[in-house]
């Protein structure tokens, strides 16, 4: 989400030729770490776990859940408890 929002701001800056909009894009880049610190303070360990799972700028490829069979039942149950992505 950060990357798309900054791309939109940058697009506006280039389209309108506005230095002010370009500066606002830079401000957005600076606000990301500040917002993350605020979220860490507010939500603590839950936010840190979320932050470790979700990339900040670019997404990851999805991990497929394995097919169920009797040989991987225990592993599948562990992965489902954590959540397949």
Q: What is the pLDDT of residues 14-57, one digit of tens each?
A: 888 888 887 877 777 778 788 889 999 999 999 888 888 887 76
Question: What's the mean pLDDT in 74-84?
Answer: 63
Task: With cut-offs at 50, 70 and 90, classify the pLDDT of residue 79.
Answer: low
pTM given for the model: 0.49
pLDDT of residue 73: 66
pLDDT of residue 42: 93
Q: What is the DSSP string of the chain?
A: -HHHHHHHHHHHHHHHT-HHHHHHHHHHHHHHHHHHHHHHHHHTHHHHHHHHHS-SSS--PPPPPPPP-GGGHHHHHHHHHH---
pLDDT of residue 60: 63
pLDDT reading at 83 higher than 60: no
């Amino acid at each position: 989400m950060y990357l798309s929002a900054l791309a939109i701001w940058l697009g506006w800056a280039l389209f309108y030729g506005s230095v002010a909009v370009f500066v606002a894009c830079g401000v957005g880049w600076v606000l990301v770490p500040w917002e993350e610190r605020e979220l860490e303070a507010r939500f603590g360990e839950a936010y840190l776990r979320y932050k470790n799972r979700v990339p900040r700028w670019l997404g990851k490829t999805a991990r497929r859940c394995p097919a169920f069979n009797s040989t991987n039942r225990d592993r599948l149950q562990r992965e489902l408890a954590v959540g397949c992505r």
